[in-house]
Structure 1
Amino acid sequence: MTYVDTIPQPSFRRRAAQLLAASTFACLVTMQAGALATAAESRPNLLFIFADDQAYDTLGAAGNAEVHTPNLDRLAKRGAQFTRCYNQGGWHGAICVASRTMLLSGRSLWHAKAAEPILKSDFQAQGKLWPQLLEKAGYDTYFSGKWHVKADPNKVFTVSRHVRPGMPAQTPAGYNRPTGPDDQKWRPWDTGAGGFWEGGKHWSAVLADDAIDYLDRAAGRDNPFFMYLAFNAPHDPRQSPQEFVEQYPLDKISLPQPFLAEYPYQIGSNRIRDEQLAPFPRTEYAVKVNRQEYYAIITHMDQQIGRILDALEKTGKADNTYIIFTADHGLACGHHGLLGKQNMYDHSVRTPFLIAGPSIKPGEKIAAPIYVQDAMATTLELAGVDRPDHVEFQSVLPLLDGRAGRPLMYGAYTDTQRMISTPEWKLIHYPKINTKLLFHLTVDPLETTDLAQQPEHASKVARLTHALEQMQGELDDPLAKKPAGK
C-alpha cells in the first residue's frame, strides 16, 4: 500500500543537511568571530499560520473550483500539500480548545484534557509549551490572534499582540438564519454588528497588520523567529466586506453532499450552538447562504495571508523560512444536515496542511495521514530541537521522503462519538445509541453510503471495531474497555 501520491524524491533530510552544511561552511569561511550569531543565522525561521473552522476541501489547491484562495494556492505550489490531515477531536463543544491544547502541549487528546487544568502551573511554568521550547533554542517567538488555551500568551511568547477569544461576539440576529430570501436582518458586511468588526477593523486584517509590523522588525535581527499567527476566521460570525460576499453568487454555490434536512442520529451535538446558526429543518437556501458567507470569509482571510507572504519576501528572509498553514479542525457547513464540527465526518475532522520552505519539493501532494498537531514536532525537527518525551505527535518530515504514515487515525467527541479511519475505510461509532457506520472512502469520499448493515461487510466492521478498541486503550480513552480484573 502506498500513502504518497508522488514518486519518492531524494531524502528531504539529506537535502536539508546539504543546505545547512553549505550555510555553515560559508559562515566559517567568512566569519571567525560572532559564532553565536552565525549559529542563529543558520537556523530557519518558522512561520505558522492557523485558521479556525476551515475544512480540508476549501482551497482551490484541494480541487475546489468554487472557492477563491489564490495566495494559499501559491503556497501549495511552492511546497507540499498533505491531503489527509486530521484533528483527533474534542472533550466538549469547543473543539478548538482541545485542538489548540494538543498543539501547544504536544499531548494527544485525552492526555491533553488531563493536562488542561495544569497547563499554566505545570507546562507553562516548566517551559514545556511549543513556543517555549523554541525560545530555549534561541528563537524570538511572536503571537497574534486567537488563543483559547489555559496558559498566558504574554508569558509563553517573547512578543504577543491582540490576544483574541475563542470567537468574535455573535448576536441573536446571527442565529437561525436565513429563513428565506427576505431575511436580511444580519449581513456579513454590517460593521455595526460587532464580531470581526469590533474595534473598527476586521480582525483578519488586524492580524495581517500585526504580522507585517513584526516582520519589518525581525528583518533587522539576527535571531531566527517563530511566528504563531492564529486567525479567528473562518469561524462564525462569518463576516467579511461586501465585495467578498459578492464574489459568490448563490446560483454558483453547490449544495453540499449529502444534503439532509436533519441528521438522523442523536450524536450528542445535534442542537448545540453551532447547529443553531441555520434553521431546522435545513433548507437549500439557508445552507447555500451559509456556504456563501463561509467562502467569502475564507477568501478575505486568504487576501490577508497574501499580505503576510509578501511582507516576508520583502524582509529578505523568505529563503530561510519554513511556512506551515493548517486549521484547528474542519466544519460541516451543511454536509449531512450539520453546521458545526462536532462530528466524525471528514469535512469536520480533516483540515488543510501546507508546508513550504528550503529543500521542500514544490507541488507535492502527499496522502500519508497526519494530525494537525504534528506541526509542533515538525518545527522542532526543523529547528534542530530534540523532541521532548512529553510530545506525542510526530514530525511530518520523514513523509516528504515518501515513507508511509500512520496506518490508522483516531477521532473522538465527548463520550458520544468515536472514529477510526484508514486511507480506504472509516468506522464511526455512537456508543450512546449503539450504532456503527461504515464508509468505503476510496469509492465514497463524501461518506454518503453507510455499509455497516450489509452482511458482506460484517468482518470489516468487526476488524475496525477491534482496532478502535486497541487505539482507545493506547490513548487512555475514558471509554476504553478495561482488562479483566482491573
Structure 2
Amino acid sequence: MNRREFLRNSGLAAAGTGAALTTAAEGETAPAAKQRPNVILFLSDQFRWDFVGANEANSSTKTPHIDAMAERGVNFTHCVTNQPVCAPSRSVLFTSRYATETEVWHNGPGMKQDLPTLAAEFRKAGYTSNLIGKWHLAPGAARGGGPGAVPEQWRGGFLDLWEGANALEHTAHPYYGTIYDRDGKEITYKDQYRVDFITDRAEKFIREKHEKPFFLFVSQLEPHQQNDLNRMVGPKGSAERFINAYVPPDLRAFPGDWHQQLPDYYGACESIDASVGRLQKALEETGQKDDTIFVFFSDHGCHFMTRNQEYKRSTHNSSVRVPFIVDGPGFNRAQQINELVGIIDFAPTLLEAAGLAAPTSWKGHSVLPLLEGMEARKAWPNKHLIQISESMTARALRTKEWTYCVADISGAKKAASPTYLEWQMYDQKNDPHELVNLAGRKEYAAKAKELKAELLELMAYAGESATISDATLYP
C-alpha cells in the first residue's frame, strides 16, 4: 500500500484545526475566508535540524524563540527534504510534487508553470499570498532569467506583496544589498545585517491591517553561505562568541571546512532565532497570534564539505534532515512527533489546517493525522524518496531505521538515470552519524534487497523507471 492509499483508507481526519475540509464527494462547505487562520511559512536556508535547541542534539545552540515554538506547538523531529538543493527543494515544497516533475531538478530552471502551487491555492480560497526574501524558482541567467527581479508569471502564485530576489545570495551581501518589489523596483539596505532587513520587511507586513487572511512566505538566506565570499557570515562578533562551540559528531569525524565556518554559522542561526522572536512578538502585539499558523523549517541542511566538495547534495542526515516546527491554531498541542515526514507533505498539511482540500495531483500527504494518536502513527508509512542532483545523479530511500542510496556511477549529472548501482546504506538506529557504509556487505544483503524494492516503488510513484544493480562486494 502506498502513502496515498494509506491516507485514503485510514479514515483519519485531523481534529482541532477549527475548520472542516471541503471535498466534492462529501459536499461540505468550507468556512468563510475571514474565519481561516493566517499562515506564515518561515524558511531559514541551510539550517541543520540539530542546531535547534529543542532537538537536544547540540549543547551550543541558542534558539530560545524556536524552542518556545516547539514547546507549545508541534515539533516534527524526523523531517527530511526530498531534494537537498535550494531550488529543487523549494519546488517540491510549493507543488507537492517531486523535483523531476517540477522541472527544477537542479538550480537554474524555472518551475513548471502549469502545476498547482500552495500560494495559488491559498489565493483561490480568499487569501492574499505574499513573499519576502529569496525565491529561486524563476529561470536563471542561463535560461533567460536572472538573480534579481522576478516577472509575475514566474512567481508561483505569490501575486500580492512581493519583496524578493530570485537568488538573494547574488543580489545581496550580509550587510548591504537589494531586493525587488512587484514592479521590479529596487529596495536596498546598507549597514544592517541581512536577516534583520528581511525581518523588518516581514514585521511591517504583519503590523499592517489585513482585510483577508494572509499567507506569508518569509525566506531568509542565512545561515547559507555567501556564495561570492565562499563562507558563512554571521552577525559581527559571531566568530569570537562561538570560537569553541560544539562540533556535531558527523562533522568532527571527517575533513571539511567546519573548523572555519561553524562560528559564523552558529551566529547566523542565533540571528534567525531572533527574527522568529520578532515576528512572533509582532503577531502578539497586533492580536493575530492566536489566529496564525507559524511554520519554521529549512530547505536542506549543511555538511560543511565533509561528504562532497560543497555543503549539501548528499543523502546524509547533515544534508537531508531539517527542522519542522509548527505552532498556532490546531497545533498548540505541546507535541513531539517522531514519525518520518517530508517537505513534499507541507503544502497539503497547511491547506488541510486551513480547512481546504489539496489538489488531487499533489503527491505529498497531510501530516495532521499524526497529531491524533498512536493508531495513526502506527499506520504511517515512514518512508520517503530523496532525489540527488548536481553532485551526482542518485536516489535514496529514507526510513526511520535506514538510508539506502543508489547512484549513477558514470558521473553524469542529469535529471534521472535508467540504471543505478547500490552506493550507500546506513543503519540509522545504530549509526545515526552515518560513519559506516554498509553497502555491499554480505550480512546486509537481505535487508538491502528489501530496501531496493521499496525504493523502486517510490521511484515509480514519482514517475521514474530504472534498474538497480547490487553493490559489487556481494559474493
Calculate the TM-score normalised by the size of structure 2. Answer: 0.77
How far off its partner does 1:330 sit? Answer: 1.2
* Distance in 1, Cα, partners of 2:237 & 2:356: 45
Structure 2 unmatched ranges of 5 or more = 1-11, 21-30, 139-150, 180-187, 227-231, 411-420, 469-475
In structure 1, what is the equivalent of residue 74 of structure 2? 80
SS at match of 1:254: coil
- 2:82 touches 2:344 (CA, 8 Å); kept in 1? no
Alignment correspondent of 2:338: 367
Post-superposition offset of 1:478: 5.9
Residues 22-52 of structure 1 deviation map (CA, whole Å, 9 limit, x = unaligned) = xxxxxxxxxxxxxxxx933321111111111
Q: Does residue 443 of structure 1 match 2:430?
A: yes
Change (3 A) 1:121 1:408: closer
More strand by share: 2
Q: Give the Cα–Cα distance (whole angstroms) in 2 for the partners of residues 261 and 117 of structure 1.
A: 33
* Distance in structure 1 (CA, Å) of the matches to 2:163 and 2:436: 45
Asked which structure has the greater RCO (Cα within 8 Å, sep 6+), the reply is 1
Matches within 5 A, 1:80-159: 80-89=74-83, 95-113=85-103, 119=111, 121-123=113-115, 128-150=116-138, 152=152, 156-159=157-160
Aligned-pair CA distance for 1:410: 1.3
1:452 paired with 2:439, answer: yes
Are the equivalent residues in 2 in contact too, given 1:287–1:333 (CA < 8 A)?
yes
Are 1:243 and 2:237 matched, yes or no? yes
Give the counterpart of 2:286 among 315, 340, 343: 315
Preserved contact between residue 378 and residue 397 of structure 1 (Cα < 8 Å):
yes
Match of 1:431 in 2: 408
User: 1:13 deviation in Å?
Assistant: 3.0
The number of residues matched between the two structures is: 403
> SS of the residue aligned with 1:257?
helix
Superimposed CA distance per residue, residues 424-481 of structure 1 (whole angstroms, 9 cap, x where no aligned partner): 1221223316452221111111111222343221111111122212222221236457
Contact 2:134 2:164 survives alignment (8 Å): yes
Alpha-carbon distance, 1:382 to partner: 1.8
C-alpha distance in structure 2 between counterparts of 1:204 and 1:466, whole Å: 44
Aligned residue runs from structure 1 range 167-182, under 5 A: 167-169=168-170
Q: Is the 8 A contact 1:330 1:351 kept in 2?
A: yes
Mapping of residues 341-380 of structure 1, within 5 Å: 341-380=312-351
- Alpha-carbon shift at residue 256 of structure 1 (Å): 4.1
**Percentage identity across aligned positions?**
25
Query: Residue 247 of structure 1: CA displacement?
Result: 2.6
SS in 1 for 2:129: strand
Aligned-partner SS, 2:210: coil
Aligned match of 1:165: 166
Cα deviation digits, residues 72-93 of structure 1 (max 9, x gap): 1111112011111111126xxx
Q: Choose which of 295, 310, 327 in structure 2 pairs with 1:324.
A: 295
Q: What letter corresponds to residue 383 of structure 2 in structure 1? A: L
Amino acid at match of 2:207: D
Aligned-residue offset at 1:420: 0.9
Specify which structure has the higher proportion of helix.
1
**In the alignment, which residue of structure 2 is the partner of 1:28?**
none
Structure 2: distance between partners of 1:121 and 1:109:
13
Measure how far apart 1:12 and its partner are: 7.8
What is the distance in 2 between the residues matched to 1:241 and 1:258?
Answer: 23
Aligned partner (choices 418, 422, 433) of residue 399 of structure 2: 422
Contact 1:330/1:347 (8 A) holds in 2: yes
Which stretches of structure 1, 4 residues or more, deviate above 6 A after TM superposition?
114-118, 192-195
Cα gap change, 1:458 to 1:304, in 2 (>3 Å): same
Shift of 1:227: 0.9
CA, structure 1 residues 431+308, in 2 after alignment: closer, same or farther (shift >3 Å)?
same
* Change over 3 Å in CA distance of 1:193–1:312 after alignment to 2: closer
1:50-106 CA-to-partner distances (Å, cap 9, x unmatched) read: 11111211111111221211111111112011111111126xxxx111111122222
Distance (Å, rounded) in 2 between the aligned partners of 1:293 and 1:307 = 21
Taking the aligned partners of 2:236 and 2:331, their CA distance within structure 1 comes to 38
Contact 2:91 2:104 in 1 (8 A): no
One-letter amino acid of the structure 2 residue matched with residue 65 of structure 1: S
Q: 1:51 aligns with which of 44, 49, 61?
A: 44
Distance in 1 (alpha carbons) for counterparts of 2:456 and 2:189: 46
Further displaced range: 108-117 or 365-374:
108-117
Asked if structure 2 preserves the Cα contact closer than 8 Å seen for 1:167 and 1:236, the reply is no
C-alpha distance in 2, partners of 1:308/1:215? 8
Shift of 1:200: 3.7
Shift of 1:260: 5.3
In 2 relative to 1, CA 122–16 (structure 1 residues): closer, same or farther, beyond 3 Å? Answer: closer
2:444 is aligned with 1:471: no
Query: Partners of 1:368 and 1:84 in 2: how far apart?
Result: 6
SS in structure 1 opposite 2:439? coil
**Change beyond 3 A, Cα 1:59–1:117:** closer
Number of the residue aligned with 1:35: none
Q: 1:216 to 1:343 in 2, by over 3 A?
A: same
Work out which of the residue numbers 199, 210, 222 in structure 2 matches 1:233.
222
Question: What secondary structure does 2:32 align onto?
Answer: helix
CA contact (8 A) 1:47 1:323 kept: yes
Q: In 1, Cα distance between the equivalents of 2:13 and 2:52? A: 26
* Bigger radius of gyration among the two: 1
